[in-house]
Chain A
Amino acid sequence: MKTHSIYIFLLSFVLILQSCKKDLEEQPRTFVSPNSFFTNPDSYEQVVKGVYSSLGGLYGGNSMMMREMFSDICGAPSASFEQALPTYQNNHQPFFYNVRGEWSNDYGIVKNANFILSYLTNATIPDAQKNAFTAEAKFLRAFAYFQLVQFYGDIPLRTEPLTDYSQAQLNRSTQEEVYKLILDDLTFAEANLPDAAPQTGRVYKLAASALLAKVYLTMAGNPLKQTQYYQQAKEEALKVINSGRYQLVEDYSKIFHNTTYTTESIWEQTFKVDIGGNSLQGISSTATGFVPIILPATWFINSFSNGDQRKAWGINQAYVGPNGNTLAPFFQKFVNNAITDAGTLPSGVINAYTIPFLRLGEMYLIAAEAENETNGPANAYQYINKIRGRARIDKSNTTQVPDLTGLSKDQFRNAVLMERKWELHEEGSTWFDLKRTGTLNRIQTLRGTDLVHPIGDYNNTWYIPDNEITNNNIPQNPTYQ
C-alpha cells in the first residue's frame, strides 16, 4: 500500500518533469511567424497588400486637422473635438494626437514596405512578379515619405526593416536625401509597375507618374526651391493627361459621391459598400448644435465665381436638418445627406464614398502651374481653363467661372493657387500648397487675434511628436516664436 502511493506520486511527478521541456514552447494558432509564411507568390502579394492597410488613417480626423483645418480655407472648428481648437489657434503641442498620429501612420507604411522589400530581395518567384511587387511597395514607401517630409522636414530615413528592437533609433536625414529616395522609389515604380492595377485601389504605372508630378512640383517650391523640377512636374502631369486613359468628369459633383473609380480617377481609396469607412462625413457634416472640424471659412465661401458648381454643390449652404432648421454651411464633397436626414449618428454612418489620392483634375492644375513657372502663362491657360470650364453649372454660359486670360506670371501663379483651393479643398493638400508656395502667412491674415502664436517660419514644419524626440534622441523642429 505504501509503495503504491509512492509510485503514484513519483509517476505524476515524473510526468510533470517530462512534459516541461517542450511543453513550455508556445504554439500560437492565430498568427504566424514570418519565417514560415513566405512560400508562394500569393504570400508575397498578401504582404504587399498589407502595406495599404495604413492608408486608411491618412485622411482621418486627426490628419485632416493638419492637412486642411490649419489652412486659410477653414473656419473655427468644434471645440468639443479634442485638440482641434488649439491646432486652429496655432497652439498645437508635440504631444497632440494629430502630430503623433500622422507620424506613426506614415512610418507604419514605411515599416510594412521595408519589411516586404527585404523578403522580396531573396524571393524565389518569377522576376516579373518580383519586380512588380517591389515597385508597388516602393511606390507606397515613397508616398509615405512624401507626406512625412512635407509635414516634418528632416526625418529619419529608414530603408531596411528592423531585425531587433535595439535598432529602433535613427538620426534625421536631410530633406534632400528623403526626396532622393522618393524619386528613386517612384522612378523604379514607374518603370516596373504594371500598366493596369491588378485590383481597383492598387497602384500602377501612371499612378507613379502622377505622384511624381506632384513630388516634382513640391520639390520645385518652398523649401527646396529646386525650380528645375517644374519641367519634370509638367512632363509627368502631361504624361498622365495625354495618356488617353482618363477623362475629366463633366459635372464636378459627379467626381465625388461614388463608390468606385470614375474616368478621372488615378488612384483612390475605396471602401466596401455595406461597411463604409470614409470618415470625412463625420468630420465635415453638420447637425443641430454641432460644429464640424473641417468647415469652410466665410471668406472662402464668398471667393468663388458666380455659377461655380464647386461652391453651389461643393459647399452646402442651404441644408435643412432633420429638425427643420437650416444648418451652417459645410463641405459636401464627402457627405451623404441622406445619412444625416435619417438622423443617423456619426458612429452609425456607413459612408463608402471613395477618397481620391490622385485624380486627373489636379494633373491639369500641376501642368498649368509648372508651365507658368517654366515658360510663363501663355501655354498654361489651356490647362487651368479646362478645369474652370468644367466647374461651370451651365457649361454654355462662359460668364460663369470665366476663362482666364491676360495675366502676368505672378497673377497666374496666384490664380492657379486659388484654383487649387476651389478645386481640391478637403483632398488633403491644402496645407502643403500653402507651404510649397510660401503663403502660410495667409493664416495669420485671416485668423489674426484668434491665434495664440503668430504664424512664422517655424510653421513650415510641424512638431515632431514628443515620444519620437525622447525615444529617438533627435532634435525638435523650430518652436513657436
Chain B
Amino acid sequence: MELLVYGKVPEPRVSLLTKTLLIMKLTACLILIATLQVSAKTYAQKISVKGKNISLEKVFDLIKDQTGYAFVYDPALIKQARPVSIDVKDMPLQQALDYCFKEQPFTYEIKYKVIVLKDRPRLPAEPLVLQSATPPPPHQVSGTVTDEKGTPVEGASVILKPGNRGAATDARGLFVISNVEDGTYTLLVSYVGYTAYEKKIIVSGQNYTLDASLQAEANALNETVVVGYGTVRKSDLTGAVSSVSSDKVTQVKAVSNVAQALQGMAAGVQVNQSSGQPGESMIIKIRGTNSINGGNAPLYVVDGLPLDGLSAQLNPDDIERIEVLKDASSTAIYGSRGANGVIMITTKKGKQGKTQVAYNGYVGVQSLRKKKELVNAQEFAQLQNEAVTNDNASGVNQTPQPLPWTDAQLDSLAGKGTDWQDLVYRHATVQNHDISISGGSASTKYYTSFGYYDQDGIITNSNFKRLSFRANVSNTISDKLSINTSLSLQNSIYRQAVYAGADGGGGIPFTTMVIPPTQGVYDAAGNYTKFTGVSWGETNPVGISNALYNPTSNIRIIGNTGLTYEIIPGLKVRLNAGVDAGFNKSDYYAPSIISIGQPGGKASKNYSNSTTFVTEDLLTYAKNFGKHNIDALGGATYQYSKAENLNSGTGVTFITDAFQNNNIGAATTAAIPGTGFSDSKLISYLGRFNYNYDGKYFATVTGRYDGSSRFAENNKYAFFPSGAVAWRMSEEAFMKDIAVVSNLKLRASYGLSGNQAIGNYQTLARLSNVNTIFDNAINIAYVQGSLAYSNLKWETTKQLDLGLDLGLFKDRVQLTFDYYNKKTVDLLLNVGLATSSGFSSVLQNFGAVQNRGYEIQLATVNTTGVVKWTSVLNFSHNATKVLQLENDATGKPVLYKELGAGGNWFPTIVGQSMGQLYGYKVTGIYQSDEEAVKNGEPTKRAGDYKFWDMNGDGVVDGNDRSTLTHLEPKFTFGFNNSISYKNFQLSLLFVGSYGNDIVNEFRKYNITMNGSWAPSKEAFDERWQGAGSSNSVDKPSKNSGSSIRDYANSLWVENGSYIKLRDITLGYNFSPGVLKALRVSAINLYVSAQNFITITKYSGYDPEVSWSAATVNGWDRGNYPSMKSLTAGLKVNF
C-alpha cells in the first residue's frame, strides 16, 4: 500500500533500542510537561476551522497548522472523501475530527501525534437475512455508547432485533449498522460489567442515531482486581481479597492517611485511630495480631512498588482503588513480608479521551468530640480542705495542717476558676484541595495531580500540612511494547502536640484533665504556672502547647517505571524499577519558660534519610487452550534499603531563646552529635500459576523464595508456597435453572507467608561503644553487646482460608464469607535468658500464635427506582490466642511473659490474646480499719481501696493478680450506605466495635481525691465520706488513690464497645442545564460530618484509642482526643 505522508512523521521502522530511547525521552518529556501543568494544551488541542464544502485535505491542512499533528493516509482512500462544511471555534481536536469524519466512508486513529486514516471497521456480524433478494436499503442505525460518566465504551456489542444484525463500538464508542430496512426494531447494547441497554426504535425513511448510556452493574464480577504482580478478573479470584474503590477511599473527609480511610470499608481490616493528632499513623491490623515482636503492620504496595511503611505521605485523592490481600494464596507472592496482609494501592491513570480537569476540595472545622465534666474551682477547694481535715484526723499528717481555704474564700470561688479544657482545645480548621488533569490518546495516557492538605489539630500548634504531586504516564509504543511511569512527590510538615509521654513530660491531654481549676495560666510574675500534682511540677498545658517548637518535615519521593514487551502473543516480559526516597528533618526547641526546656532551653536538630531501590523482572504468560485457561508468572526481584541519620544531640542552656535550634553550638552544655547507618537487602524469586477450566474450576499455585540479609547465614533463604482452588458452582448446568442465584463460588486456600520485620544486624556478635566518665570527661569505651546467633530465621504464618461468594437476584445481593485459621510459628521472640549471664534476652524463633476468625461482607442494592439505595456491611471477628511461648530452663513452657511496652501491666499469657491487663481486682472501699486487716491489707485504713485476696491466703500480694481484660473486640463492623434521589446523594458510614475492654489508665487520676489532681465531677460526688457512704471512690487524703495508680487494677477497665456515625455526607449534583450555562461537565456540592454521633459507655474522650504498642489494643494514657468535624466541599469536572 502506498502511503502518503502529509507532514513530518517519525520514521516508522526503528530498532527496539532507539525506540526505547525514544520512549524514555518521550516519557521524560511528558513528565516535564505535566509538571509544568500545561499538558492540557498538548492534548486538548483546540482548533478553529470555518468553511463550506471544503475538501477534507484542506481541513487536514488547517488542523496540521494549528496542532502540529501529521496525517497519514492511503491516497486511494482520500479520493472517496466527501467535502466538509464546518464552522467550529476552539473545538477539541478529537471532537472536530469526529465531526469531519462523520459522513466519511473511512475513519481515523490518532497515534502519537499522527492521524492515520483507515477503512471503517468491518462489522463483525454480517446480516444473515435475505441480503441478495432485496436491494440494499439506504438507511443506517448509528450512535455512541458511553458509560455513566460519559466515557466512550469500546467493544460494546450492539444488536438489532429482529434480524440479529450487530456491530461493535470502536474506541470512541461509535457504532454503525448500515443497510437497515424500515421497521420497528429492538436495539440491544451489552457490555461486560454493565446492565444491558434495550430500546425500541422505529426506522422510517432516514438514518437513525441514538446515544446509549450504560449503567455499571451493581458489583461487576468482571471487574479486575489487583493482586500481587498482576491483575485477575474478580470472577476468577481464588483468594480472599477486599477491594475499596476511590469514592470510598475519599468518602470520609478530614482524613490524611490511607489506613484511616480504610476504616469500616473492608472486612477483616481493623483500623484504630489511636489519636486525634493530625497526620499521625493509625494502628491497622489485618486478620488479627500475628506477631509479638516482629511487627504487625501490613505491607503497602503502591502501583506495584513495595514500600517500607506508609502513613500520611500519599494523597488519598490520587487513589483509584485499594485491594487488601488477606489469605495466604494472595499474600504468599510477597513471601517474607506477606504475613500481616498486603495493601495494594493503585493510583489513578489517565483514560483515553479528551482532557479532564477536575477540582476537588473541602474546608471544615473540627472540635473536641466530648468535653469531660470535671470538678469546678469551688468543689476542688472543698476537696483540698476535706483531704487536710481527714489527714489531720487520721494522723497521716504527723502535725496537723491548717486548711488551705477559708469559708470566705470557698464562697468567693463560686462560678470562678479555670476551665482548662476550654483553654487547651480549640476549633481547628481542615482543608483539602486537589486538582487533577488527565486524559490521553490511544497510545499515551496521563494523570497528573496537585494536592494540598492542611489540618490543624484541636490543640494549639499541632498540625499536619501536605503538598503532593503525582504524574502517572503510560505509553503504548507499539502493539507489543508499553511503558508506565509513576512519580509521586510529597512534602509534609508535622507538628505533634506533647502527649506521648502521658503523665511525664507535660502530656497536654493528661495535664489538661487533672490540673486544678483553682489555678490560673500565669502566676503573679507573668510566668506560666506549673501543675504540681506530679512531683516535679510540669508547666501547665497552655504554656507547653504555646511555647514548644517541634516541627518535623518530610519529603518523600516515590517513583517507578515499568516496561512491558510482548514477545509472542500471551508471553510478556516486564521490567520494573522503582525508588522510594525519604528525607526527614526534625527540629526541637523547648525554651526554659516551660518545664521541659529546663534548665536553660533545650535544642536539637535531626536529619535522616532513607532510600529503597527495587527492581523486578517478570515474565508472564496467558493463553487459552479451548476451555483450558492458563496464566503464569515468574520473576526475580531485588531490593536494597538504606537509612542514615545525623542527630545534633541535645544542647542545653542558651543565653537567649532567639537561637531556637539554629545555633546549637552556643549551648552551655554542648550537644553530643550522633550518626547512624543501617542497610538491608532482599533477593527473591517468585512464581504463580493460575489455571481455570471453562470458568468453573480454578486453581492457583504460588511460591516465593526470599533471601534476606537480616537473617543468619544458615537461614537467609526461605520458601513460601501456597495453593488455592475455587469452584464457580453457578456456572454448572445444574445451577443455571436456579434463577435466584446469579453467582456462587466456593474457595479454599492454604499457604505460608512470612515476617522479617526485625531490625538489621540482629544475628551478629557486636561490641558496642558506651560513654564512661573519667577525669570529668567523656571517655569512649566498649562493652560486649551481643553474641552471634546463627539460628535466627523467619517467622512463618500458615493460613487456611475457606471462602464463599454468593450473588443473588442478578447480583443485587452479594455476600462474601471467609473463615480463616492462621497459625504463626517460629515467632521472633525475645526469649528470656538467665540474667546472671549478663544478657537478659535474645531474639529467637520460639512460640506460636493463632488467629482464627471470619469475615462477612454483604453488599446489597436495596432500592433502584427513583431512590437508589445501596449498602455494604462488613463484619469481622477475630480471636488471637497465644499458643506457646518459650520453654524455661527446666523445659517447662513459660506461660507468662512481660514484653516491652506493656511491662508487667500487660504481660503475654499463654492461652489468651496478647497484652491483657494483669493486676488486682478492686472490690470496693474498706468501710473500717478492721476490714482491711482481715482482708490481708494491714497497712490500709477505712476509706482505702479494697483489693481482692484472690488466692485467699490472707495476704494481698503479687499472687493475687489475674487477667482483667478482654481487649480484643468480639467483632468490629462497618456499615456503609449510599442513597441517591434525583440530584441528591446521601452517604452514611457507621463503624463500630463490640465486646472489647479499654484500659483507661487516665481514670486513675480522674478518681484520685488527693487534692493535687482535679477529679471528675462524678468521682467527686462518689467519694468516701465515712462508713457506708461509698463503695466506689476512696477517701479524700493526700494518699488517696496511690494503690490504684501504681498497680494495674480493675478500676482502669472499661467497656470499650461503640458504634459511631463515622461520616455522613449530603451531596448535590448540578443538573445539566446549569452545567451547560457554567460550561463545566459536573459539579457536586456536599456537606458532611465526621464522628458526630458515638454511642458508647466509655468515659474517656473517645473509645477509639490506643497506645503505641500494637500488641496492646486500647490503652488510654491520655492520648490526643479524637475530633469531630463538619466539612463542606465541592467537586468540579471542567
What residues make up the interface of A, taking CB atoms closer than 8 Å to B? 1-2, 4-6, 8-9, 12-13, 15-17, 19-20, 23-35, 37, 43, 46-53, 78-80, 82-83, 85, 89, 91, 93-95, 100, 103-104, 107-108, 110-112, 114-115, 155-156, 158, 161-165, 167-170, 199-202, 259-260, 270-275, 277, 287-291, 298, 339, 342-350, 352, 449-453, 465, 467-468, 470-473, 480
Pair B833/A165 contact, Cβ less than 8 Å: yes
Pair B889/A472 contact, Cβ less than 8 Å: yes
CB distance from B764 to the nearest CB of A (A): 6
Closest residue on chain B to residue A90 by CB atoms: B939
Residues from chain A with Cβ under 8 Å of B776 in the complex: 200, 259-260, 270-273, 352
Partner of B773, one of A20, A270, A291: A270
**How far apart are the CA atoms of A350 and B833 in the complex, in Å?**
35
B707 at the interface (CB under 8 A from A): yes
Among the 9-residue stretches B149-157, B784-792, B857-865, B1057-1065, the one with 4 or more Cβ atoms under 8 Å from chain A is B784-792
In B858-912, the 8 Å CB interface with A consists of: 888-890, 894, 904
**How far apart are the CA atoms of A465 and B619 in the complex, in Å?**
58
Residues from chain A with Cβ under 8 Å of B504 in the complex: 347
Residues from chain B with Cβ under 8 Å of A13 in the complex: 617, 636
**How far apart are the CA atoms of A112 and B781 in the complex, in Å?**
11
**How far apart are the CA atoms of A52 and B568 in the complex, in Å?**
71
Given contacts A26-B680, A201-B774, A470-B832, 12 further A-B contacts (CB under 8 A): A4-B16, A6-B567, A9-B617, A32-B767, A103-B835, A104-B840, A112-B838, A200-B774, A270-B776, A345-B538, A467-B840, A470-B888
Given contacts A13-B617, A31-B768, contact A347 B888 (CB under 8 A): no
Pair B638/A19 contact, Cβ less than 8 Å: yes
Residues from chain B with Cβ under 8 Å of A108 in the complex: 838
CB distance from B621 to the nearest CB of A (A): 13
**How far apart are the CA atoms of A283 and B18 in the complex, in Å?**
76
CB distance from A351 to the nearest CB of B (A): 11
Pair B836/A158 contact, Cβ less than 8 Å: yes
| 3 closest cross-chain pairs (CB), A and B | A111-B838, A473-B889, A348-B598
What residues make up the interface of B, taking CB atoms closer than 8 Å to A? 15-17, 398, 480, 504-505, 530, 532-538, 565, 567-568, 573, 575, 595-599, 615, 617, 619, 636-638, 652, 668-670, 676-681, 683, 707-710, 716, 760-761, 763-785, 787, 789, 832-840, 842, 888-890, 894, 904, 937-939, 955, 957-958, 1012, 1039, 1042-1043, 1045-1046
Partner of B683, one of A1, A19, A30, A100: A19
CB distance from A366 to the nearest CB of B (A): 26
CB distance from B386 to the nearest CB of A (A): 16
CB distance from B421 to the nearest CB of A (A): 23
Given contacts A30-B677, A34-B784, A79-B1039, contact A288 B532 (CB under 8 A): yes
CB distance from A151 to the nearest CB of B (A): 13
**How far apart are the CA atoms of A168 and B789 in the complex, in Å?**
13
CB distance from B900 to the nearest CB of A (A): 14
Pair B1042/A79 contact, Cβ less than 8 Å: yes
A–B pairs, 30, beta carbons within 8 Å = A1-B15, A2-B568, A4-B16, A6-B567, A9-B575, A23-B681, A26-B710, A28-B766, A29-B677, A31-B769, A34-B767, A50-B783, A80-B1046, A91-B957, A95-B958, A103-B836, A104-B840, A111-B838, A115-B783, A162-B838, A165-B842, A202-B774, A270-B773, A339-B599, A342-B599, A343-B598, A345-B538, A347-B505, A450-B939, A470-B888
**How far apart are the CA atoms of A108 and B832 in the complex, in Å?**
15
Residues from chain B with Cβ under 8 Å of A9 in the complex: 573, 575, 617, 619
Given contacts A5-B567, A24-B716, A472-B834, contact A165 B787 (CB under 8 A): yes
CB distance from A2 to the nearest CB of B (A): 5
Pair B785/A31 contact, Cβ less than 8 Å: yes
**How far apart are the CA atoms of A8 and B618 in the complex, in Å?**
11
CB distance from A32 to the nearest CB of B (A): 5
CB distance from B646 to the nearest CB of A (A): 13
Given contacts A110-B838, A156-B836, A200-B775, contact A5 B889 (CB under 8 A): no
Closest residue on chain A to residue B889 by CB atoms: A473
**How far apart are the CA atoms of A291 and B1039 in the complex, in Å?**
11
Pair A467/B787 contact, Cβ less than 8 Å: no
Given contacts A24-B681, A80-B1045, A471-B833, contact A95 B781 (CB under 8 A): no
Pair B832/A5 contact, Cβ less than 8 Å: no
Pair B707/A471 contact, Cβ less than 8 Å: no
**How far apart are the CA atoms of A6 and B566 in the complex, in Å?**
10
CB distance from B940 to the nearest CB of A (A): 10
Residues from chain B with Cβ under 8 Å of A467 in the complex: 832, 835, 840
CB distance from B536 to the nearest CB of A (A): 4
Closest residue on chain A to residue B565 by CB atoms: A5
Pair B836/A287 contact, Cβ less than 8 Å: no
Pair A49/B772 contact, Cβ less than 8 Å: yes
Closest residue on chain B to residue A43 by CB atoms: B782
Pair A449/B939 contact, Cβ less than 8 Å: yes
**How far apart are the CA atoms of A344 and B652 in the complex, in Å?**
13
**How far apart are the CA atoms of A2 and B481 in the complex, in Å?**
11
Given contacts A103-B835, A468-B836, contact A112 B784 (CB under 8 A): yes
Residues from chain A with Cβ under 8 Å of B773 in the complex: 201, 270-272, 277
Main secondary structure of the interface of B (DSSP, over half): mixed
Residues from chain A with Cβ under 8 Å of B763 in the complex: 26
Pair B834/A168 contact, Cβ less than 8 Å: yes
CB distance from A155 to the nearest CB of B (A): 7
Given contacts A112-B783, A347-B536, contact A49 B835 (CB under 8 A): no
CB distance from B1011 to the nearest CB of A (A): 9
Residues from chain A with Cβ under 8 Å of B760 in the complex: 26, 28
Partner of B888, one of A25, A27, A471: A471
Which of A13, A111, A470 has the most CB atoms of chain B within a 10 A radius of its CB? A470
Pair A350/B767 contact, Cβ less than 8 Å: no
Residues from chain B with Cβ under 8 Å of A25 in the complex: 709
Residues from chain A with Cβ under 8 Å of B709 in the complex: 23-26
Residues from chain A with Cβ under 8 Å of B637 in the complex: 16
**How far apart are the CA atoms of A81 and B15 in the complex, in Å?**
77
**How far apart are the CA atoms of A112 and B785 in the complex, in Å?**
9
CB distance from A435 to the nearest CB of B (A): 21
Pair B772/A170 contact, Cβ less than 8 Å: no
Pair A471/B770 contact, Cβ less than 8 Å: no
Pair A111/B398 contact, Cβ less than 8 Å: no
Pair A199/B842 contact, Cβ less than 8 Å: no
Closest residue on chain A to residue B396 by CB atoms: A76
Pair A348/B595 contact, Cβ less than 8 Å: yes
Closest residue on chain A to residue B619 by CB atoms: A9
**How far apart are the CA atoms of A345 and B596 in the complex, in Å?**
8
Closest residue on chain B to residue A20 by CB atoms: B683
Pair B677/A289 contact, Cβ less than 8 Å: no
Pair B832/A16 contact, Cβ less than 8 Å: no
**How far apart are the CA atoms of A32 and B765 in the complex, in Å?**
8
**How far apart are the CA atoms of A345 and B536 in the complex, in Å?**
5
Pair A451/B939 contact, Cβ less than 8 Å: yes
Pair A274/B955 contact, Cβ less than 8 Å: no
**How far apart are the CA atoms of A287 and B709 in the complex, in Å?**
53
Closest residue on chain B to residue A5 by CB atoms: B565
CB distance from A34 to the nearest CB of B (A): 5
Pair B838/A82 contact, Cβ less than 8 Å: no
CB distance from B493 to the nearest CB of A (A): 27
CB distance from A116 to the nearest CB of B (A): 8
**How far apart are the CA atoms of A79 and B1042 in the complex, in Å?**
6
Pair B938/A156 contact, Cβ less than 8 Å: no
**How far apart are the CA atoms of A52 and B837 in the complex, in Å?**
17
**How far apart are the CA atoms of A342 and B833 in the complex, in Å?**
45
Pair A453/B835 contact, Cβ less than 8 Å: no
Residues from chain A with Cβ under 8 Å of B890 in the complex: 473
**How far apart are the CA atoms of A201 and B75 in the complex, in Å?**
99
CB distance from A293 to the nearest CB of B (A): 10
Residues from chain B with Cβ under 8 Å of A32 in the complex: 766-767
CB distance from A181 to the nearest CB of B (A): 14
Pair A4/B783 contact, Cβ less than 8 Å: no
Given contacts A24-B707, A272-B773, contact A93 B782 (CB under 8 A): no
**How far apart are the CA atoms of A342 and B638 in the complex, in Å?**
58
Residues from chain B with Cβ under 8 Å of A48 in the complex: 781
